[in-house]
Chains A and B, each alone.
Chain A
Amino acid sequence: MPDTPTVELPQQLQVINIGLELFAETLREQQQTVLHVRWEPPAQGDPELLGMLDALL
């Protein structure tokens, strides 16, 4: 196995939730800090536009 950095879990989770708001709610229910991203399909769901956008980023 190649030399890879050790994986460690953070002591305190600081979560960004992208997608279903349901999963941000369940974290809040557990008193877990979470920032919800109000995600929408980028480039209005147009795959060609999306490809162009990705090439730029």
Chain B
Amino acid sequence: MSVRVLIRPREYHDSVRLMQLSERVRRESGVDEAILMMATANNKKILRASGMMTDAVDAAKADDLVVAVVASSDALAEAAIELATEQLTQRAAGAGASHTPRTLDSALALAPEANLAQISVPGMYASREARRALEKGLHVLLFSDNVGLEDELTLKQLARSKGLLLMGPDCGTSILNGVGLGFANAVRRGPVGIVGASGTGIQEITVLLERMGLGISQAIGTGGRDLKESIGGITMLMGLEILVADPQTELIILTSKPPAANVAQTVLACAARAGKPVLINFLGAQEADLTGLTGSKSQLHFATTLEQTALSASSLLGTGTSLPLLSPATIEARAGELATQLQPQQRFIRGLYAGGTLCFESLLYLQRELGQVNSNIAATADSLLTESDSSRGHTLLDMGDDAYTIGRAHPMIDPTLRMQRILQEAADPEVALLLLDVVLGYGAHADPATLLVETLREARQKAKREGRYLGVIVTICGTESDSQCLSRQAAVLQREDVLVATSNAEAARLAVAVIKTTTEMGE
């Protein structure tokens, strides 16, 4: 076993580039492990856990780059380091030569007509960059998370005072004038406008609408915390204002987890005055509570799931199209087929999600149908898991949650942690099935289904050696027009005996049906 570490001082590359390079070095040099990372405190923990901690790594500073490989021989390790060095040097040289600006200010000197800054720097620097962009009169899409709540408020107040949109922090998705910002799917233009405090919530709604032939005018992300009491829905209200005034928008969808009560009140009051139909999708909120807040229904409509939101939109616009969802009888049948292959002790669902809102929606449904479900985003202390806890009972994990992404890229970009977790869950004899989301579109992996299949094969072989079948249910959030192509990705998974659902809600229904069937069989 040969471990080689190279430190390149004061050389910065973004986390995605480094991840892509790591993957390439691993694949092309035949080493067991290759990690390229900035030597931040969190990354050092990861290096230590991977057996790559050396004195040099320990001494390295946060702006030093670490290249670490583990190989079966010195020769292989050396070759890997050489490849990494070559790639890094090429990259650094290329960028220097092409007058690429290094700051927002120098970029503005080159492009004074710029009107939007898309910012995805590490959280601790993000407020600073966003403030600068707003001061310079640009709208901002702030992808970065791990930004303080107080900063979010002052930035949003600044934005509002200048008539600018601050989408974020923690805004994964927007689609403006048909252009996908952050992670977004290839969808057509059309009459539906969306303002959403959840990236994958927006993605799921847009892809389901696309499936029904319905297009998007604008989809404005607000960031996950916009509807908290302290922020007061600043960006959602501005988004609503834009859609109300937009002649292309015939129907407005507002999607979020349930807002703070007084924020909900303000938002619903504005929505009621929109002068066009508004569909409210506050996941998990009860319609009665919401209409109580407005005092009347006016042109407000309500949907409790992302799937129902898309279906209601189609119905309200009178398009007459629907989704190819499975009937209850078919769900029973598919669940039955899966359940008969399980051992009696296999009783639990383990859900691993890249999409936070998809995880949240499934959590609500599973809790309602099955009782206790543990999660890192659970509302109650007895169901709450931290990122170092193992799963127990039914467990759904949002692997994009801040705790999992400090110093690492989001699971939609870097699938490593999730793949590791799949193997961990597969080793648990009480696990009946895995519930997973696969997200397609701009920014997503080029072929996530194939990558997932590699890990599932390993996971299932392991379970098989111990006499167990492992069920897998996947929801794919994507369209035919995405480069990964929805139907091709579905086919890859179906060939591997994976149940592929049309929507996140349907995947949850399938999972619940399996558990209920096994429970009945056990009785």
Residues of chain A having any CB pair with chain B under 8 Å: 4-23, 26-27, 29-30, 32, 34-42, 44-45, 54
Contacts and interface: CB of A to CB of B under 8 A. Distances in A.
A42 B513 CA distance: 53
Contacts of A34: 118
B143 interface: yes
Q: Which of B121, B144, B238 lies at the interface centre, i.e. has the most chain A CB atoms within 10 A of its CB?
A: B121
B102 A40 contact: yes
Contacts of B160: 4, 7
Interface in B90-134: 95, 100-104, 106-108, 110-111, 113-122, 125, 128-129, 133
B57 interface: no
Contacts of A19: 14, 118-121, 143-144
Contacts of B218: 9
A37 B63 CA distance: 18
Interface in B158-179: 160-165, 176-177, 179
Contacts of B106: 37
Contacts of A4: 160-161, 163
Interface string B1-36: 000000000101011110000000000000000000
Given A4-B163, A9-B177, A41 B62 contact: yes
A7 B62 contact: no
21 contacts: A7-B160, A7-B165, A9-B218, A10-B116, A11-B177, A14-B114, A16-B133, A17-B120, A18-B104, A18-B121, A19-B121, A20-B15, A20-B120, A21-B16, A23-B118, A26-B180, A27-B179, A30-B180, A37-B100, A39-B103, A54-B128
Given A16-B104, A20-B15, 16 more contacts: A6-B245, A7-B238, A7-B242, A9-B165, A10-B115, A14-B113, A15-B115, A16-B138, A17-B117, A20-B120, A20-B143, A20-B413, A21-B17, A23-B118, A23-B181, A41-B12
B61 interface: yes
A38 B91 CA distance: 11
Contacts of A39: 14, 102-103, 121, 129
A20 B144 CA distance: 10
Nearest to B40: A45
| A-B complex: 4 closest residue pairs judged by Cβ atoms | A5-B163, A19-B120, A26-B442, A40-B12
A18 B16 contact: no
B113 A15 contact: no
B400 to A, nearest CB: 15
Contacts of B164: 7
B407 interface: no
A23 B180 CA distance: 10
B223 interface: no
A8 B220 CA distance: 12
Contact of B119 (A6, A7, A18): A18
B116 A18 contact: no
Nearest to B131: A54
B241 interface: yes
Contacts of A6: 163, 241, 245
A23 B120 CA distance: 8
Interface string B172-192: 000011011110000000000
Given A4-B163, A22-B413, A15 B114 contact: yes
A12 B181 CA distance: 14
B442 A29 contact: yes
Nearest to A44: B63
B393 interface: no
B100 A36 contact: yes
A52 B122 CA distance: 20
A30 B111 contact: no
Nearest to B124: A47
A40 B102 CA distance: 7
A44 B118 CA distance: 22
A16 B443 contact: no
A9 to B, nearest CB: 6
A12 B176 CA distance: 10
B14 A9 contact: no
B140 to A, nearest CB: 10
Given A14-B111, A18-B117, A44-B10, A32 B16 contact: no
A23 to B, nearest CB: 6
B302 to A, nearest CB: 25
Contacts of A40: 12, 63, 102
A8 to B, nearest CB: 7
A20 B121 CA distance: 7
Contact of A20 (B14, B179, B238): B14
Interface string B362-405: 00000000000000000000000000000000000000000000
Given A6-B163, A7-B164, A13 B179 contact: yes
A9 B218 CA distance: 10
